[in-house]
């Protein structure tokens, strides 16, 4: 049997982060080494609590959670309670009994990456503050990752938080710029990729699952539609990044060089191609049938009708 993929998810749950984490927990070929948290969708105390609560609800409180940055490299996070609800998740989960481990996210990442050089896949689903701090504090550590898959940026497509910027990169543009200019092997899953894998309200509400993790996922997804009666579509932003980490062939890619705007004006967080070829692997054309096939299979979803 093939060795399981060692995975760490850096995250700010967040409804779509939660779906991605649950996919990883349901994947038999994944060994989830831990979650590192960052403020973003909601404050750090809440993203950390949600990470612990999700693991507990999935029966996996054995997986460590390490607390990361409560603030971006500059300024403060702006949060998105209007998208994810004030608690960050669309359903109240029981209070977690476990706590975050003593080591912070940067130390945790350093330790796990260097303990298994070339083996760990790191998936970053929130503002990139923890990764940027790791580059500063332990410059050699991230290079030990097998792959780094980042959800963030809006390249050649409108943003979702400002007309030009995507939420994760807008939340900490300086950190995004540090990671993208690091020459590390980053796969970027931006909004243009993620917008290829949405689900309609009607279709989401029809789904059923007998798998415990599938049921929990549907409670969150369907709970989100119930909490937001005017929204008709849920985009699988973070789940797509997770899926590409597991099955890179889900998307075509291009090698590009990207620049993140740090200007304190309407371009803040904007992510643009500089024109030349580069080190970043940018997701382009997503095989949405393959993504939904993976989602459906891992979570044992019934009632799925690909559109």
Q: Which residues bind Ca ion (CB under 5 A)?
A: 12, 14, 17, 125-126, 238
Residue 160, binding choice from ligand BDR, Ca ion, none, Cβ under 5 to 8 Å by partner class: ligand BDR
Query: Cβ closer to ligand BDR: 41 or 196?
Result: 41
User: Among 125, 152, 131, 130, which Cα is nearest to 50's?
Assistant: 125
CB under 6 A: which stretch of 28-36, 60-68, 165-173, 289-297 binds ligand BDR?
165-173
- 27 binds ligand BDR per the rule CB under 6 A: no
Site size for ligand BDR, by CB under 6 A?
15
Instruction: Name the DSSP class of 1.
Output: -
Residue 79 binds to ligand BDR (criterion: CB under 6 A) = no
Which residue in the shown chain puts its C-beta closest to ligand BDR?
Answer: 167
CB-based contact 153:177 (threshold 8 Å): no
Spatial distance between the Cα atoms of 47 and 58, rounded to a whole number of angstroms: 16
CA distances from 216 to 115, 193, 203 (A): 33, 26, 17
167 makes contact, choosing from ligand BDR, Ca ion, none, with CB < 5 to 8 Å by partner type, with ligand BDR
| Binder of ligand BDR out of 36, 37, 41, 271 (CB under 6 A) | 41
270 binds ligand BDR (CB under 6 A): no
**Extended beta strands in the chain, E state:** 5-11, 30-37, 65-67, 120-124, 147-151, 186-189, 198-200, 208-209, 233-235, 251-256, 258-260, 271-273, 280-286, 301-302
If one asks whether residue 172 binds ligand BDR (CB under 6 A), the answer comes out as: no
Please answer whether residues 130 and 68 qualify as being in contact, where contact means their C-beta atoms are separated by less than 8 angstroms. Answer: yes
**168 is a site residue for ligand BDR (CB under 6 A):** yes
Q: Report if residue 17 touches ligand BDR, rule: CB under 6 A.
A: yes
Is 237 among the residues that bind ligand BDR (CB under 6 A)?
Answer: yes
Q: How far apart are CA 30 and CA 16, in angstroms?
A: 19
- Which of these ranges, 11-19, 95-103, 140-148, 282-290, lies near ligand BDR under the rule CB under 6 A? 11-19
Closer by beta carbon to ligand BDR, 14 or else 64: 14
Task: Please say whether the beta carbons of 89 and 50 come within 8 A.
Answer: yes
Determine which residue in the list 167, 236, 291, 292 makes contact with ligand BDR, applying CB under 6 A: 167
62: buried, middle or exposed (CB in 10 Å: 19+, 13-18, 0-12)? exposed
CB of 221 to ligand BDR, least distance (A): 13
Minimum distance from residue 17 beta carbon to Ca ion (Å)? 4
H/E run at residue 237? helix 237-246
Give contact residues for ligand BDR (rule: CB under 6 A): 14, 16-17, 41, 80, 83, 125-126, 151, 160, 166-168, 237-238
């Amino acid at each position: 049997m093939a060795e399981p993929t060692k995975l760490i998810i850096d995250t700010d749950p967040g409804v779509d982060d939660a779906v991605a984490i649950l996919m990883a927990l349901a994947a038999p070929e994944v060994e989830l080494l831990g979650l590192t948290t960052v403020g973003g969708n909601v404050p750090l105390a809440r993203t950390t609590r949600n990470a612990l609560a999700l693991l507990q609800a999935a029966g996996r409180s054995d997986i460590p959670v390490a607390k990361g940055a409560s603030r971006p490299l500059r300024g403060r996070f702006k949060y998105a309670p209007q998208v994810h609800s004030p608690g960050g998740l669309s359903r109240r989960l029981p209070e977690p009994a476990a706590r975050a481990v003593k080591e912070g996210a940067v130390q945790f990442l350093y330790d796990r990456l260097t303990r298994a050089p070339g083996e760990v896949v790191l998936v970053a689903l929130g503002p990139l503050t923890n990764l940027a701090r790791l580059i500063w504090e332990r410059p050699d550590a991230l290079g030990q990752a097998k792959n780094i898959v980042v959800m963030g940026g809006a390249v050649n497509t409108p943003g979702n938080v400002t007309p030009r910027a995507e939420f994760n990169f807008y939340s900490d543009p300086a950190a995004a710029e540090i990671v993208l200019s690091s020459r590390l092997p980053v796969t970027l899953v931006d909004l243009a990729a993620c917008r290829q894998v949405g689900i309609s309200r009607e279709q989401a509400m029809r789904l059923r699952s007998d798998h415990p993790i599938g049921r929990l996922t549907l409670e969150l997804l369907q709970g989100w539609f119930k909490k937001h009666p005017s929204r008709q579509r849920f985009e699988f932003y973070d789940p797509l990044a997770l899926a590409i980490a597991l099955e890179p062939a889900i998307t075509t890619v291009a090698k590009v060089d990207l620049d993140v705007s740090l200007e304190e004006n309407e371009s803040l967080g904007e992510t643009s191609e500089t024109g030349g070829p580069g080190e970043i692997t940018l997701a382009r054309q997503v095989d949405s049938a393959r993504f939904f096939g993976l989602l459906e299979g891992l979570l044992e979803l019934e009632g799925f009708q690909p559109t």
